[in-house]
Amino acid sequence: MPGPKDRFPNPFLPKAPWNGLEQYREPLCYELKGQAFQLVMDNGHAYALHFLSEEMIAWGEPGKALRWDTSECLKLDDVTYFVNWAVFGAPLRTCLTLVLDLKADLVTAVYAQIGAVKTCPYLVTNEIIFGAIKTPGKPLNTMRHAYTPDLVGRNIFWRYSSNFGITHAFITEHFLRVPIGQPRELPPDATPEEIAERDKEYERRKQHLFEIPAFYIKIREDVYFFGFIEETECRLDPTLCGNSLIMVMDTNKIHDVGRCFASDYENHYAPQNFVFSAFGAFHDTPDLIDGMPSPYRIF
């Protein structure tokens, strides 16, 4: 596993060893080391979760042998922790991600797999499971995090690295789009060939709408858990990768922490599972996508 020097690369290196999402990732959080949680989930199962060290966890159903896995944790705020790990030795590539809400003693989990859809072998499937954290001496909270329309109609631009930023446009309660934006700016002395290539690239963007299934869950006021699967292109071409990205964000600070569970299409489908973070800004500038009918779905 990469060490600290690999995880926090020098941005002035001639060949950056990070990918487009990891450069501005904040340090991992080790505050949960030594703590244990009892998670009572709405799928009818309860789980013990022990943070044995900075990275090692033991988890499983009470009364059964616990699994040991290596996790990563990022902290959104003093009561919200984002925990992610791959399930070692599972028949299919499997990833578990938790949002631990210590203010309300609630938990929301995402159980993700790659390989469950035989016709799209690199498509990620997500199962979202709500639950509560059992705290000694306190009744189990019967409230739950819940799906919300709060974000619909808003756009957020995220800056993930010095050379990668993206806007998420929350167009409906179940779908997300990436705005087409404006043609790239060129220097005043751009050649006719460079202008023609820029215009050609812009026309391609207008003809190819990036629209994907998404979910939006409210943790508390100004804190949301959201994610999406890059499913649309994968179903059109199963050799592509339907990757999954999920984040918990603070819309007051416009800050997110998240994870990417994926296959690297450009590197022989190499497995990917890493955490990231970013700051952003609301970016509600009108865009061509605002009024576009979907070429993929009826809604």
| Residue 299, domain member (yes or no) | no
| Residue 193, domain member (yes or no) | no
pLDDT tens by residue, 225-279: 999 999 998 998 998 899 999 999 999 999 999 999 999 888 889 999 999 999 9
pLDDT tens by residue, 94-113: 999 999 999 999 999 999 99
- Gap between the Cα atoms of 111 and 74, Å rounded: 18
| Helices within the chain (DSSP H only) | 4-7, 192-207, 231-236
Whether the CA torsion 134, 140, 83, 269 is positive or negative: it is positive
Q: What pairs with residue 261 in β-bridges?
A: 244, 273
Residue percentage of the chain with pLDDT more than 90: 73
- Gap between the Cα atoms of 248 and 259, Å rounded: 10
Q: How many CB atoms lie within 10 A of CB 189?
A: 6
| Residue 189, domain member (yes or no) | no
| Residue 297, domain member (yes or no) | no
**Least reliable range by pLDDT among 3-12, 104-113, 173-182:** 3-12
Higher per-residue confidence, 4 vs 123: 123
How far apart, in Å, are the Cα atoms of 173 and each of 139, 167, 169, 210, 217? Answer: 32, 17, 11, 16, 10
- Which tokens is 33 given? 């080391």
| Residue 194, domain member (yes or no) | no
| Residue 187, domain member (yes or no) | no
Report the number of distinct structural domains present in the chain.
1
Parent domain of 84: 4-181+201-291
| Residue 66, domain member (yes or no) | yes
pTM above 0.75, yes or no: yes
- Gap between the Cα atoms of 206 and 292, Å rounded: 10
| Residue 298, domain member (yes or no) | no
